[in-house]
Structure formats: structure tokens, C-alpha cells
Amino acid sequence: MKFSVLYTYFLISVSLIVLLFTSCTQTAEKETTQAETPLPKDPPQKLSSAFRSYWYSGKAEISSYALSQARYGELREGQAVLVFVTEPFNAVKQVKADRAGDQSVSVLKLNSTRKFLTGLYPYSIMSSTFYPVANNQHAIKVTNSVQEWCGQVYAQLNNREEFELQANSYFESEGDQQLKLSKSVLENELWTQLRMDPNSLPQGDVEILPAFEYIRLKHLPFQAFKAKAVLREKDSISTYALKYPELNRKLEIHFRTAFPHEIEGWSESYVDGYGPNAQIMTSTAKKIGQLNSPYWSQNGNVHLVLRDSLGLQ
């Protein structure tokens, strides 16, 4: 009888120890941060030691730019920021993974922001692109939002069997849309792809879905357009240029030829303004500064001084 009781207590104790160990393990996993992003498992593109050292250092690359943005037929002065960082991404749910697992892949994420004033009221634009480090498919997800005092718009593309796109707008002519699109090159993904491997960028005649920022500002439908893509190099700076004949639009992204291919600036030309005052205008962005930092943990008032190195207001 005593042996039976002791054996029962023994089983209960073992169960509690196992449960405690499992709970601690799960808690530790949940506390994984961007700084602990795991390396991808055997990606088709072999990662160099330089790539691993730079992009898996536990820091994000933050670059600031002096922005001159065309809007309503005038150039507006503002600021732009590009934030590149690796993180685990749940490829099934298509959201940032709480922790790395069988359903997660490693992505290089780009958060791109532009802020400028149009007279009395401000504009704020943000786009996010989640591009697989494996560099063997389109971006898994792209989102974009534009806010100004008249209202806001939002668009989200998910890469599944087809491109699934949700678009919401306060404009009646645009309204709420649910679309399925044939897969084509995404302009938003090209900014991140060139950080992976510029030589993998599409060149020649290409069907491209223009940047969500441009589509929203010009109130265009979400569809691919024919474009001519060219990659050229001069000294230490390379330029990736896209020309859309049908849209009368040209985009040039200037970046350092050598790894890690930091983006030094860009220019974008298209017809802006209304009526007889409409004309081709060129928006530009020139680099102010760069900071490699675990910004997500630098959120105290004491860290405000870090913005000075980026020249941010």
C-alpha cells in the first residue's frame, strides 16, 4: 500500500517537473525578439558570411532622406525613412511570427515612410514589404497606407496561389475592393530584392505592378503595366531604372554597388498637377544619415537624441 502511494507521488512529481520545464521553454520562446531572428533553413540563395554578419546582427538599418515630393503640381519638402530588418514571418498566416517554427521563414522587411506638408495639412505615407531572404519568390506580403486630413486609404497584397489584394479608401470611386491578380513583378519588392542581390533584379521588358504609393497618389487601378528595367553601374554607385511608357513615369533607385548595397537616394518623374498646370515633375530623395540600431528597444525619452544622427525632426 505504501509503495503504491509513494509511486503515485513520484509520478505526480515527475509530471510537475515536465510541465514546469515545458512552460519555461514556451515562455522563453515567446520572448524571442528581432535581435534573435533565426537564420533561414537551407535557402536556395546561399548566404555569404558578410550577409549573415550584417543582416543577423540583431540590429536594423535605418536610413533618412531629404525628400522633395511632387503633389498637387508643386514640390513639397519633407523627410523619408527606410528601415530594413530581418525577422521570422509566418508564411501561412502571413504575419510576423511570434517565434520561429516550421511555418516561419526568414524575411528582409522594409518599412518605408514619407512625410511632407501640402500647405496647411500634412501627408504621411507608409509601405511595408516582407521579402523572403531565400530570394526565390515574390514578396509574401505588401501593405500601404496614406493619411492626410481629408481621410485615409489602405491596401494589402497577400501572395498566395494568386495575388490577393484588399483595398480600402474614403473616396467613393475607389471604395472597398477585394481583388485577385495574376502574379507579376511588384515594384515595392524590388527595393528589398536589390539589397539581397542586385544582379537578380529583372531587366529588359517586364510587367510590373507599380508602387502602391504611386497608385494611391494617382488614383490608379491596381494592375501591372509594361516597363523597361535597366541596371547600370558608374564608379561605386549603381542605378536601377524603371520606365513605364504608358504611365509616362520613370523611377531611378541609386545604391552602392558594393555589399550591403545601401540606398543613397532616388528620383521619380511623372505628370503631376491638374488641368493646364499639369506637367512632368520629379520627386527626389537624398540621403541624410544612417544608423544601425535595435530601435525597438530604444523607445525611452533618453533615446530621442539618436534621431539627431539621422537629421530627423
What is the C-alpha separation between 127 and 145, in angstroms, rounded? 7
Is residue 19 very low, low, confident or very high in pLDDT (cuts 50, 70, 90)?
A: very low
Cβ within 8 Å of residue 92, ≥6 positions away: 103
pLDDT at 35 over 60: no
Mean pLDDT of 12-33: 42
What percent of the chain clears pLDDT 90, i.e. is strictly above it? 77
Buried b or exposed e, range 214-237, using 16+ CB within 10 angstroms:
bbbbeeeebebbebebeeeeeeee
pLDDT at 45 over 90: no
What is the C-alpha separation between 243 and 205, in angstroms, rounded? 10
Is residue 26 very low, low, confident or very high in pLDDT (cuts 50, 70, 90)?
A: very low
pLDDT in tens, 171-227: 998 889 999 999 999 999 999 999 999 999 999 999 999 999 999 999 999 999 999
Helix or strand (DSSP H, E) at 115? strand 104-118
**pLDDT given for residue 3 in this prediction:** 44
**pLDDT given for residue 44 in this prediction:** 57
Is residue 100 very low, low, confident or very high in pLDDT (cuts 50, 70, 90)?
A: confident
Mean pLDDT of 9-31: 43
Mean pLDDT of 66-95: 96
**pLDDT given for residue 124 in this prediction:** 98
**pLDDT given for residue 134 in this prediction:** 92
**pLDDT given for residue 11 in this prediction:** 46
**pLDDT given for residue 104 in this prediction:** 86
pLDDT at 33 over 80: no
**pLDDT given for residue 264 in this prediction:** 98
Q: Which of 14-23, 107-116, 234-243, 248-257 has the lowest mean pLDDT?
A: 14-23
Q: Extract the C-alpha cell encoding 291.
A: 544608423
Rounded to whole angstroms, what are the CA distances from 203 to 207, 242, 275? 11, 9, 35
**pLDDT given for residue 173 in this prediction:** 87
What is the C-alpha separation between 156 and 167, in angstroms, rounded? 6
pLDDT in tens, 280-296: 999 999 999 999 999 99
Q: Whole-number mean pLDDT of the chain?
A: 88
**pLDDT given for residue 37 in this prediction:** 45
**pLDDT given for residue 138 in this prediction:** 96
**pLDDT given for residue 98 in this prediction:** 86
Ordered by start, the domain boundaries in the chain are: 1-31, 36-310
What is the C-alpha separation between 224 and 183, in angstroms, rounded? 9
**pLDDT given for residue 63 in this prediction:** 98
Cβ within 8 Å of residue 211, ≥6 positions away: 127, 187, 188, 251
**pLDDT given for residue 304 in this prediction:** 95
Q: Extract the C-alpha cell encoding 2.
A: 505504501
